[in-house]
Amino acid sequence: NAGVMQNPRHLVRRRGQEARLRCSPMKGHSHVYWYRQLPEEGLKFMVYLQKENIIDESGMPKERFSAEFPKEGPSILRIQQVVRGDSAAYFCASSPPGGPYQETQYFGPGTRLLVL
């Protein structure tokens, strides 16, 4: 059973470009979470999604950031018009249908975004 997959592992963008980060949850998992880790810090929650639904986006910046988890395909975290402060590691986690409070979240390897 493959773990949580994230791609790309490393992404370099210039200021003003768009960044698209992809996350494929573990097989059988229907809950996806995105976290951001700034250098030398712990992770910060961004958004929690189920298939075709955003359940909690309280950690998402109000502008430029969006997330989706379509019926088919991976979850996408999209950052428009990136700025240097967006440089961070973005982690995706997934959990089984029991839900986040019943099940452990398993993390992907992360995408390291560098904005030049």
Partner 1 sequence: AQKVTQAQTEISVVEKEDVTLDCVYETRDTTYYLFWYKQPPSGELVFLIRRNSFDEQNEISGRYSWNFQKSTSSFNFTITASQVVDSAVYFCALEDMDSNYQLIWGAGTKLIIKP
Smaller CB separation from partner 1, 35 or 69: 35
Query: Smallest distance, Å, CB 86 to partner 1?
Result: 18
Determine which residue in the list 56, 78, 83, 97 makes contact with partner 1, applying CB under 8 A.
Answer: 56
Interface with partner 1 includes 65 (CB under 8 A)?
A: no
Nearer to partner 1, 72 or 89 (CB): 89
Task: Give 18's Cβ-side CA count (13 Å radius).
Answer: 9
CA distances (Å), 68 to each of 23, 42, 72, 78, 115, in order?
10, 24, 11, 9, 22
Q: Does position 52 bind partner 1 by CB under 8 A?
A: no
Question: Closer CB to partner 1, residue 48 or residue 65?
Answer: 48
Nearest Cα to 66, choosing from 54, 83, 50, 51?
54
CA angle 16, 14, 18 (to 5 degrees): 50
Which positions lie near partner 1, rule CB under 8 A? 33, 35, 41-45, 48, 55-56, 58-59, 89, 91, 99-101, 104-110, 112
